Chains A and B, each alone.
Chain A
Amino acid sequence: DGGITQSPKYLFRKEGQNVTLSCEQNLNHDAMYWYRQDPGQGLRLIYYSQIVNDFQKGDIAEGYSVSREKKESFPLTVTSAQKNPTAFYLCASSTRGRPQHFGDGTRLSIL
């Protein structure tokens, strides 16, 4: 079955450490997205990519970086510059004219 796979489901980061969250889709979707979810704040867009080798900042891109070297993959790196990284991270994908389809998320915590 087609879908979006996010890994790992739980991730722990030490202070000053970069961590990378994986997002892979086999839906042949062109666009991919990363959202951050905090309690009571809904989802906020971090980065999105409409085609390979191109991506745009969302509303809260500071302290994050992404790459889009393959259509299927859109990894998110949470850098040490992100001072409050504890959150639930959701990856989504879509194709033109169709709603976004979401993965099951990665919960990031600070040790």
Chain B
Amino acid sequence: AQSVTQPDIHITVSEGASLELRCNYSYGATPYLFWYVQSPGQGLQLLLKYFSGDTLVQGIKGFEAEFKRSQSSFNLRKPSVHWSDAAEYFCAVGDTNFGNEKLTFGTGTRLTIIP
């Protein structure tokens, strides 16, 4: 069965500093990979996705992520965070046999931005 691990429950970063959120997955083949962001009391918004091709993917709001097959990782990065980036971030893996119909989510990383 597929699984996702986000090892950092909570991260605090200064505004303007760089950010890296970790995501490790377990899946037998090349998976579909996603990063979503959630503001308090809201739904999830897609930041970026990896289906195939270039392993460095660009997303919205200046985020990027790199798929590393050898490390089973899909870490999310941003070179300079803004106060509005404070939110909860979820990594998810999709079963390629089902397209994206069956997603498994990590437990999330809460990001706090300090001035």
Residues of A participating in the B interface, judged by any CB pair closer than 8 Å: 4, 6, 31, 33, 40-45, 48, 50, 90, 92, 94, 96-105, 107
A74–B75 CA distance with the chains assembled, in angstroms: 33
A25–B77 CA distance with the chains assembled, in angstroms: 32
Stretch of B13-21, B38-46, B63-71, B78-86 contacting A (4+ beta carbons < 8 Å): B38-46
B110 vs chain A, min Cβ distance (A): 10
B86 vs chain A, min Cβ distance (A): 17
A-B contact pairs, 9 of them (CB 8 A): A40-B9, A40-B108, A43-B103, A44-B105, A50-B101, A100-B103, A102-B44, A104-B43, A107-B41
Q: Is the CB of B41 within 8 A of A42?
A: no
8 closest Cβ contacts across the A-B interface? A102-B43, A42-B105, A42-B107, A102-B44, A43-B105, A104-B43, A99-B46, A103-B43
How would you classify the secondary structure of chain B's contact residues: helix, strand, loop or mixed? Answer: loop
A102–B43 CA distance with the chains assembled, in angstroms: 6
Residues of B participating in the A interface, judged by any CB pair closer than 8 Å: 9, 34, 36, 41-46, 49, 90, 99-103, 105-108
A92–B105 CA distance with the chains assembled, in angstroms: 14
A4–B101 CA distance with the chains assembled, in angstroms: 17
A39–B93 CA distance with the chains assembled, in angstroms: 20
Q: Is the CB of A40 within 8 A of B107?
A: yes
Q: Is the CB of A104 within 8 A of B101?
A: no
A83 vs chain B, min Cβ distance (A): 22
Chain B residues with CB below 8 A from A42, complex form: 90, 105-108
Contacts A41-B107, A43-B90, A99-B49 given; does A90 touch B43 at CB 8 Å? yes
Residue A94 contacts which of B42, B45, B100, B107 (CB distance < 8 angstroms)?
A: B100
